[in-house]
Amino acid sequence: MKKRSCYLWLAALFMFTAAMQAPAKQRIVFFGDSITQMGVNEGGYIRLIQKKLDEKGKASAYDLLGAGVGYNKVYDLFLRLEKDVVAQKPQVVLIWIGVNDVGHKSIGTGTDADKFEAFYNAIINRLKEINAKLVLVTPAVIGERTDCTNAMDGDLNRYAQIVRKLAAQHNCGIIDMRQQFMAYNLVHNPDNQEKGILTTDGIHLTEQGNKLVADVIFKALNL
């Protein structure tokens, strides 16, 4: 009986030691609107990033969490920050917001630039308190025309610049998705189409759009 108890004790000790030595997964939270919400679907950019990790044998090192909600603006992200991000204890947070803050101005519910910056700044400050590595992503497109005739281009450029400025001020990582989309369309949208290249409707991602976003993020995070 004593011998059996000794074996059980040694087995428990071994399991405890192995657990203590196993490297913890790096948790990455993707925080955003419907683009991010759809990113966890089959073929979505978060799923594609997970697939890339699987192919490289790195899946056990990362825990990818999607925290996207449709129609969200920066104010909505601020309101759900504690529950959807802070409580998850992430090591890395990607913030991708802005198209609704700009686009919803057409129906009177957008976000003024000064308020966009203030709420975004508050989100950054809170996440810095938990020592999360932050990567800010500029809003990409509202329309894919390459001749600067998309109705929201001016505001979208302004809000993208706010995100760039905040990244520099807070020493955050930056993924300039707006620049990436514009550069891609200059090459692959010779007919100046409003949609159908990287987006299905001028905003949400096509199969190629998801692939581009996944590739850009994967490279930026050095996964």
What pLDDT was estimated at residue 24? Answer: 80
> If one looks up domain 25-220 in CATH, what number appears?
3.40.50.1110
What pLDDT was estimated at residue 18? Answer: 45
Q: Domains of the chain: which residue ranges? A: 25-220
Q: Tell me the C-alpha distance between 30 and 25, whole Å.
A: 16
Average pLDDT by stretches of 10, the chain with 223 residues? 51 51 82 98 98 96 98 98 98 98 96 98 98 98 97 98 98 98 98 98 98 98 93
What is the token pair recorded at 129?
């308190």
Alpha helices by DSSP H, listed for 24-170, are 34-37, 45-55, 74-79, 81-84, 99-103, 113-129, 153-170
What pLDDT was estimated at residue 19? Answer: 45
Question: pTM score, two decimals?
Answer: 0.89
Q: Tell me the C-alpha distance between 170 and 60, whole Å.
A: 30
Over its C-alpha atoms, the chain yields an Rg (Å, rounded) of 21
